[in-house]
A and B are shown apart, each in its own frame.
Chain A
Amino acid sequence: MTTELNRRRLLTAGASIAGAVTMAPLLSACGGGAHQKTGANTASGLKAALPAYLPSTALKPDIPSVAGGPDAATDPGFASYPASPVATVSGPPGRGGSYTAVTPLWGTVPQPGNSFYQAMDNALGVNLTIKPADGNNYNTIVPTMTAARKLPDWVNLPAWWNPNFNTGELAGTQLADLTPHLSGDNIKKYPNLAALPTGAWQAGVWGDKLYGIPCFATGFPAPGAIFHRRDVLESRGITADQVKSAEDLMNLGRELTDAKRGVWAFEDVWTYFFTSFGAPRKWKVDGGKLVHLFETQEFLEALDWHYRLATSGYMHPDALAGDTNSSTRFYAGKSLITGDGTGAWTLADYQSGIAADPKYRRGAFNSFAADGRSKPVLYMGAPSSMISYLNASLKPDQIEELLAVANYLAAPYGSAEYTLVNFGVEGTHYNRVNGVPTFTDEGKKDVQVTTYNFLASSPAVISNPGGDVVTKDYSAWQAANVRTLAKPPFWAMNYSMPQELAAAEAAQAVNDTIIDCYHGKKKVSDVQAAVSTWKSGQGDRLKRWMTENVLDKYGTGQ
C-alpha cells in the first residue's frame, strides 16, 4: 500500500472544470486588498522554522531504508502487516473540541456521521467534521472559501495548486503560524510528527515561518519512471539492465512491436524520460544565470528522439491519439513500455494486472543517461505535495489540540493508530484474511477513500500485503536508483508569483506543441518557433522575475 499520489493522474482528472469560470468572480466578490508577497524563505529563517527530525523506531521494516544524497532515502518496505499493532499514543489526544476539516476527495464521498467517522471521533477525543470536497474541482472550490475568508479549521492545500490558491499570501493572513509549536525541539511533544522527514516540512514553510503539515512524506520523491512488462521482456530473454541508452530503448521498441498482433512497444514516455537527455526539469543555473528548459540544447535532443519514436511505428496508435487509458492496454499486453508516476506501482495495480494476465509483473528501467555514458540523474519532486494547514483564527490551545490529533494521524505504519486510520475497526470495516487486513463492504465505502490522511499521515512506506512481489520489486528499484536522485534548483522552495507570470510559467502554447511533437504531428522546429514566441512575450519576463525575486534574494535553495 504505497501511499504516494500519482500527481499526473490527479491533474488529468482536474482538467474538467469547464464552465466554472463565470461563476467564480461572483462568489469571490469580497476580499482583501491586492498586493503580492513571494512568501519565499531565507536560508537561516528556514533553518530556524524547521522542526527537529526524530525517526520512529516503533516497527522494524523488513527492507530497511537506504540513504542516498541529502534528503533522499528509499521508503522502508514491509512484507507483512503486523499481527498485533502497538499503540504509539496513549489515550485520546483531543479534549472534546469541535472542528471542521476540508480535504480533496477523488472518489465517492462517504456518508456524513458514518460509523468510521464516529470511531475516529471517539479515538481522537474531538468532534472533527470531515467535509471532503470534489478533488477535480478543488482548485476552484478553495479560492471561493479564501475569498470569503471562510476557510475551515483545518484544510488540505495540494502543493501543485499553490499558484491557484496563492498560498504564500494566505500564510499568515488566513493560515495559522505553527512555528512556535513545532520548530526545532518544540516538536518533541508530538513524536509521530517529529518522525516526518525534514525535507517534507520544508514544503509548508512560507516567509521563514512554518504553516503546513506534510502528508505522505517520502524521501524518494521521484516524479516517475519508465515502466515495462517485466514478464513479457523476460519471456523473450531480455532484462531491464540491458537497456543502457536511448538507442537501446528504441531498438527494444522495434523488437517488441508486432502491429499485426495488435502489440506496440510504447505508450507516452516523454514526461519521465526527457531529463535523461541532460535537460533540466524546469530551470538550471549556468554560470550564476538562470536557464529555462526550453532554452537548452538537451531539450531539443530529447524532442528529436521522441519525435522519431512517434513516427517509428513503435507507439500504440491509441497513445498517439491521446487516449489516456494506457493502463488497460498495459495490463492487456497491448503495450509494453510506459511512463508513469511511481504511484502506479501498487497492490491495486498488481491485482488489476494479474486479473488481465496471471503472469503480469511490473518492472521499471533503472535511470540511465540517453547517451549511455553520462551520469544518470533523477530529479527529485516535492517530498510532500499534500500539505494541510490550520486556520489563523484558532486559539493557541485549539492549535495544540489539533496538532495532538495530527500526531495521532501521523502514527507510523503498522501501529494501532495507523490501523484504525487506514483500515477502521476490525470486524466492522475490515477483517484479517490470512493476516492481511481486508476491507468489508462498509470499509470500502467509508474507510478506503482518503480523508484523515490528507490532514496528516505517516511517512510513506512500501507495503503491499498480498502482493509481496510488488514490495520486493519496488523496494529493489528504489534502492538501485536512490543514488541518482538529485535536487533541481529551487527544490522544495516555496514562492508564489503574480498571476500573469504563473500563466507564463504554464507556457500552454509551448507545452501543447511539445505534445504534438512527441506524438509526431509537429516537428522540432515547430516547437522552436513556439518557444521563441513564448520567450519574447512571457518567457523573458518570467526569467527576469525569477532572477530578481527568487534567485538573487534566496538563491537556489541548495
Chain B
Amino acid sequence: MSTARSGRRAAPARLNWRIRLRRDRSLLLMTVPAVVLLLVFNYAPLFGLMTAFQDYDPLVGVWHSDWVGLDQFRQLFGDPLFWESMKNTLYLSFVQLILFFPVPIALALLLNSVLSERTRNVIQSVLYLPHFFSWVLAITVFQQMLGGAGVLNQLLRTHGAGTWDVMTDPHTFALLVTSQAVWKEAGWGIIVFLAALSAINNELYEAAAADGAGRLRRMWHVTLPGLRGVIVLLLVLRLGNALSVGFEQFLIQRVAVGHDASDVLDTFSFYYGIATGNYSYGAAAGLFKSVVSLLLIWGANRLAHAFGEDGLYRR
C-alpha cells in the first residue's frame, strides 16, 4: 500500500499517458507477472460463476447445461444448513475480530520495546515459525496436547482428576479455533506492524520525551497514532473478509466437533456442492458469499473514509 501512496504523491500534475508509460516502464513490467496471475487465477474463473444459474453437468459442459435461473439460490436460501453455516461464519469472524485482531498489535508493541536486537530476533523467529506449519500439523499438535488422549488429559487422568476434551467440544469450538489461529498466525501478523513502527520518526519520541512524556504517554500519543493507518487498513480488509474465516482448519476438525458447529460458508460449498457433484449449488453459495463480501468491504472502506482515514485507497 505504501508504494501506491508514494506513486500518487509523485504525480501531482497530469502528464501525458505516453510520458507516464515511458517513465514507469520498468515498474509496470514488474507488475506484469502479478497481474497475469491475478487474471488467470482470479478473473478467468469468474466465468464459471454462470454455473450458479445452471444445472451444471461437467460431462456436457457449461455451454450445454440447462439454465435454471435463480433455482439454486431459492434452494440455498431455503436450506437450514446454509443459514447455520452463515451463522457460524459470522460468529467466528466476530470472535476472531475481538480476540485475534489485537494480538499482533500488542505483540508488535512489546517486541518494539525489547532493546536487545538478539533477543528480539530470537522471539521474532519463534513467533513466526508456526506460520509455516500446515493446518494438519498445527491441529495434530493441539490434539496431542489438549485432546482426550493428549498430554494434559492423561496427566489429569493419572491424578484421578476429571478430564476435559476441548478438541471435541462444540460449545467452545470458537475459542479453540481462535486460539489455534493466534498460535499459528499472530506472530506472522506482526510483520506489517513492525514495518509501520519503524517508519515512525524517532524525533517525535525524542521531542515527546523532552516534553516530559513517560513511556505510556509516548505510546499513546506517538506510537499508536503512527500505527493508526495500518490498523484501519487491516480492519477494513478483515471486515471485507468477514465471510472467509478459513477452510482447512474447519475441514480437518469437522468430524471432531460435528458439522453444525464447524461448517462455515467455504466448507458448506465444499461438502454440499463439490463433494456431492452438486457443482451449481456450491457455485451459488460461493457467489452469494462474494457479493456480500463486496458489500462489506465497500461499507468498511466508506466508514474508514468517514473517519478521515485512507482505507483501501486515498479518496
Contacts and interface: CB of A to CB of B under 8 A. Distances in A.
B143 A323 contact: yes
Question: Which of B61, B150, B168, B254 is the most central at the interface, judged by chain A CB atoms within 10 Å of its CB?
Answer: B61
Contacts of B143: 318, 321, 323
A433 interface: no
Interface string B156-170: 011000000101101
A513 interface: yes
Contacts of B282: 21
Contact of B283 (A21, A33, A260, A334): A21
B275 A519 contact: no
A31 B64 contact: yes
A262 B56 contact: no
B61 A31 contact: yes
A271 B213 CA distance: 69
A30 B149 CA distance: 52
A96 interface: no
Interface string B241-266: 00000011001011111111000000
B37 interface: no
B276 A503 contact: yes
B279 interface: yes
A472 interface: no
Contacts of A500: 55, 278
B48 A25 contact: yes
Contact of B45 (A23, A32, A521): A23
A146 B148 contact: no
B220 interface: no
A24 B44 CA distance: 12
Interface in B57-72: 57-66
B48 A26 contact: yes
B203 to A, nearest CB: 49
A30 B253 contact: no
B81 interface: yes
B148 A317 contact: yes
Contacts, number: 162
Given A31-B63, A33-B60, A146-B59, A502 B277 contact: yes
A314 to B, nearest CB: 12
B258 A33 contact: no
Nearest to B261: A521
Interface string B136-161: 00001001000111100110011000
Contacts of A143: 58-59
B67 to A, nearest CB: 11
A233 interface: no
A499 B273 contact: no
Contacts of A18: 247-248, 251, 270, 274
B283 to A, nearest CB: 7
B271 A17 contact: no
Contact of A29 (B61, B66, B140, B255): B61
Interface stretch (A70-78, A106-114, A348-356, A504-512): A504-512
Contacts of A260: 157-158
Contacts of B277: 163-164, 499, 502-503, 506
A495 to B, nearest CB: 16
B47 interface: yes
A262 B149 contact: yes
B51 interface: yes
Contacts of A499: 55-57, 277-278
B64 A33 contact: yes
Contacts of A59: none
A516 B259 contact: yes
B63 A30 contact: yes
A250 interface: no
Contacts of B154: 262
A28 B62 contact: yes
Contacts of A259: 157
B278 A320 contact: no
Contact of A321 (B50, B65, B81, B167): B167
A267 interface: no
B272 interface: yes
A169 B279 contact: no
Contacts of B65: 34
Contact of B147 (A31, A317, A506, A509): A317
Nearest to B251: A18
B168 A521 contact: yes
Interface string A320-334: 111100000000001
Contact of B255 (A24, A164, A508, A515): A515
Contacts of B257: 521
A481 interface: no
A34 B66 contact: yes
Contacts of B255: 321-322, 515, 519
A35 B158 CA distance: 64
Nearest to A163: B277
A26 B44 contact: yes
Contacts of B165: 317, 320-321
A512 B270 CA distance: 13
A434 interface: no
A147 B58 contact: yes
Contact of A509 (B56, B64, B81, B256): B81
Contact of A26 (B45, B248, B253): B45
Contacts of B273: 21
A32 B64 CA distance: 7
Contacts of A86: none
Contact of A322 (B170, B256, B260): B256
B62 to A, nearest CB: 5
10 contacts: A18-B248, A22-B286, A25-B48, A34-B60, A143-B59, A144-B58, A317-B149, A320-B256, A321-B255, A533-B80
The 5 closest A-B pairs by CB, nearest first: A317-B148, A322-B255, A31-B61, A22-B45, A25-B48
Given A31-B61, A321-B167, 18 more contacts: A18-B248, A25-B48, A25-B61, A30-B61, A164-B58, A165-B59, A166-B59, A260-B158, A262-B149, A262-B154, A318-B147, A321-B143, A321-B256, A322-B254, A503-B281, A506-B276, A508-B275, A522-B258
